[in-house]
């Protein structure tokens, strides 16, 4: 039985309940000869005589009736799986947009934002540029500055500090720096390194995550948010907090979308998550 395909078992069901090949052909769209060949093949696979063939049609043999009972159980199980899957697909969606660093932090603390028991689905977007709520690019955005216009609801969150970091054990005499490329740098923190006249940049990259790995790998010093750098044990600070890079984080939602219960839940959870790690974001090295 392990080699009997589900397609053939379903075809068997149509023959068994329809009383013959003609009825099965009508319900499946296959030709009667094709169905007949597949029923013979099914009998060979199972090693059982499933039908008593006669002028009045295909009558179920004893083994055929037992197989039909089993196929009905399989259909019930398949239907339950389909219904279960359908329930998931009908759940509402909440989409969030955040920069690369904040997205990583949320992923590392996902249980504080969403669990499989929640009655909604999540879409996590990494967006280092600003989000356009006009076109509903996201329901919730985590931003570096307060929006000055738009039909949005805003919530002030934590202060985010930055500092230069280097790999633990990095040679202090080495003056190499790592930066994002000028073509991909967006925020003041992205641009800080190459705007310093005395920075000797020997490596650069086009993604924040690769910047992190290069710093950790010992390619040079680079600027990271403190909530990223201070949580990595293989990194140490290469200087104090860079005050001019500190910004306030804002949780922003389209004013229409925030009325949805699931959107309000995610906003509250994000706000609580950031507040719980306020000292870490502020660069006070309260790593956990």
Confidence band, pLDDT 50/70/90 cuts, at residue 78: confident
In this prediction, residues 172-181 reach a mean pLDDT of: 89
DSSP H or E segment with residue 201: strand 200-205
Per residue in 91-128, pLDDT (tens digit) is 889 999 999 999 999 999 999 999 989 989 999 999 87
Q: Contact at 8 Å (CB) between 180 and 211?
A: yes
CB contact at 8 A, 151 and 94: no
How far is residue 177's CA from residue 164's CA, in Å, rounded to a whole number?
10
User: Could you read off the pLDDT of 200-252 as tens digits, one per residue?
Assistant: 899 999 999 999 999 999 999 999 999 999 999 999 999 999 999 999 999 99
Note the pLDDT of residue 286: 46
User: Which residue is associated with the tokens 């994000």?
Assistant: 270
Q: How far apart are CA 262 and CA 10, in angstroms?
A: 40
Count other C-beta atoms under 10 Å from residue 152's C-beta.
Answer: 19
Q: Model-level pTM greater than 0.75?
A: no
């Amino acid at each position: 039985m392990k080699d009997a395909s589900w397609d053939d078992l379903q075809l068997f069901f149509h023959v068994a309940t329809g009383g013959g090949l003609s009825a099965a052909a009508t319900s499946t769209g296959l030709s009667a000869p094709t169905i007949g060949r597949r029923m013979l093949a099914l009998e060979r696979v199972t090693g059982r005589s499933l039908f008593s063939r006669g002028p009045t049609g295909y009558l179920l043999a004893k083994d055929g009736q037992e197989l039909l009972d089993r196929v009905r159980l399989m259909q019930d199980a398949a239907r339950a799986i389909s219904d279960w899957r359908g329930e998931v697909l009908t759940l509402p969606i909440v989409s969030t947009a955040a920069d690369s660093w904040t997205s990583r932090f949320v992923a590392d603390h996902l249980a504080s934002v969403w669990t499989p028991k929640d009655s909604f689905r999540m879409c996590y977007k990494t967006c280092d540029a600003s989000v356009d709520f006009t076109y509903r690019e996201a329901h919730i955005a985590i931003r570096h500055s307060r929006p000055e216009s738009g039909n949005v609801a805003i919530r002030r969150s934590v202060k985010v500090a930055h500092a230069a970091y280097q790999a633990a054990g990095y040679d202090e005499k080495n003056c190499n720096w790592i930066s994002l490329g000028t073509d991909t740098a967006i925020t003041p923190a992205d641009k800080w390194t190459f705007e310093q006249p005395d920075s000797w940049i020997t490596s650069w990259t086009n993604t924040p995550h690769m910047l992190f790995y290069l710093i950790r790998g010992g390619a040079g010093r680079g600027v990271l948010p403190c909530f990223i750098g201070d949580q990595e044990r293989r990194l140490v600070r290469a200087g104090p907090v860079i005050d001019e890079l500190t910004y306030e984080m804002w949780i922003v939602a389209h004013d229409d979308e925030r009325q949805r219960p699931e959107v309000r839940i995610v906003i509250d959870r994000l706000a609580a998550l950031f507040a719980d790690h306020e000292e870490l974001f502020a660069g006070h090295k309260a790593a956990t």
